[in-house]
Amino acid sequence: MERAAGKRAILIAGPTASGKSALALALAKRLDGVIVNADSMQLYEDLRIVSARPSPDEEAQAPHRLYGVLPAAAAFSTGGWLRLAAEQISVIRAERRVPILVGGTGLYFKALTEGFAELPDIPETIRERARDLAEREGVEGLKQALRVEGDEAAAQDLSDPQRLARALEVILASGKPLSRWQKEQQSAPLLPSGSFSGLVLAPPRPWLHARIAERAQLMVRDEGIAEVEALLRKGLPASLPAMRAIGVAEIGRLLSGEWDRAEAAAKLTVATRQYAKRQETWFRNQMPLWQRLDPASELDSKQIVINM
């Protein structure tokens, strides 16, 4: 086993179903690493199958941190995850082991490597107002609302509906544009350039689509259905992040009798493909200098050059 001083982290990003967890596990075994979750849905204890968390057998093969640590009732932020990740990275380095952060949540990696602006608390009424507008009027409706509220920069520069809705929430809650919050509150990056090796899995689209379809079939088996049924029995607000995980609504319709398993799996496949495409766009635009790897080519972790 290679031994590292623990001074350089490994970050593994990529779209859902691209094999990130398997690569992280292989590198953890090779480098005496500790795997830290960087996926917003895998934080929730109620979503092992729906979020495709590592299995108990996989978790037993190397240390895993920040998986299944939150109840579904918790509303969690990027800032909250960053604080937990900072604690884990400090502990892992003190142990002279390698932190391996893996997941599909682009904002987590951006906060780690570029710094993070702590935003104001958003009242639930404002959050619902922004989401309702996004559902009714889409991107153009959000842009128009931002212009009316005085955030022309966000209306002009942003195109992703989630980021537009977030900008609207911020200015409605605080009266201050998102860009000003980011400028005034920006922290130093926890992992600045040179302190990490960044890897992005970039599989061919047909290969990824086949894996997504296979995962959807697994989700609509009895264990996945039981997981969602137990979650829905808690009667939690639909606005919570865990309740918006891909698979919850689709399996919910299966449970209600609206869809059969085949239709639920088909709908899951489409929704996951769309999500994966958004992830790919994010990683391509936001992480252009990270090393691209093709997991479809029988990737061997020993062939990956990691400068420790």
Instruction: Give yes or no: residues 196 and 75 share one domain.
Output: yes
pLDDT value, residue 188: 86
Decide if pLDDT at 183 tops 80: no
- Annotate 126-172 with DSSP letters as a single string: HHHHHHHHHHHHHHHHHHHHHHHHT-HHHHHH---HHHHHHHHHHHH
Q: How confident is the model at residue 178 (pLDDT cuts 50, 70, 90)?
A: confident
CB atoms within 10 A of CB 75: 14
Question: Phi first, then psi: what are they for 44, rounded to 5°?
Answer: -90, 130
Does 308 fall in a domain? no
Q: How confident is the model at residue 5 (pLDDT cuts 50, 70, 90)?
A: very low
Q: What is the mean pLDDT of the chain?
A: 90
Instruction: Give yes or no: residues 69 and 181 share one domain.
Output: no
CA dist., res. 239 & res. 124, Å (int): 9
CA neighbours closer than 13 Å in the CB half-sphere of residue 121: 3
Does 4 fall in a domain? no
The CATH number of whichever domain residue 297 belongs to comes to 3.40.50.300
Pairing relation of β-strands 9-13 and 98-103? parallel
Range of the domain at 196: 9-117+188-204+288-303
List Cβ neighbours of 158 (8 Å cut-off, separation of 6 or more).
Answer: 164, 167
pLDDT value, residue 55: 94
CA dist., res. 30 & res. 12, Å (int): 15
CB contact at 8 A, 179 and 153: yes
pLDDT value, residue 2: 39
Instruction: Give yes or no: residues 245 and 268 share one domain.
Output: yes
Instruction: Give yes or no: residues 112 and 193 share one domain.
Output: yes
Q: What single-letter DSSP state applies at residue 102?
A: E
55-113 residue pLDDT tens: 999 999 999 999 999 999 998 888 899 999 999 999 999 999 999 999 999 999 999 99
Decide if pLDDT at 6 tops 80: no
Instruction: Give yes or no: residues 16 and 77 share one domain.
Output: yes
Instruction: Give yes or no: residues 87 and 224 share one domain.
Output: no
Question: Phi first, then psi: what are they for 288, rounded to 5°?
Answer: -65, -20
Does 194 fall in a domain? yes
pTM, full prediction? 0.84
pLDDT value, residue 215: 96
pLDDT value, residue 299: 64
CB contact at 8 A, 246 and 17: no
The CATH number of whichever domain residue 173 belongs to comes to 1.10.20.140
Instruction: Give yes or no: residues 198 and 87 share one domain.
Output: yes
pLDDT value, residue 308: 60
CB contact at 8 A, 122 and 75: no
pLDDT value, residue 162: 75
10-29 residue pLDDT tens: 999 999 999 999 999 999 99
**Beta bridge partners of residue 9, listed in sequence order:** 196
Instruction: Give yes or no: residues 97 and 193 share one domain.
Output: yes
Instruction: Give yes or no: residues 52 and 198 share one domain.
Output: yes
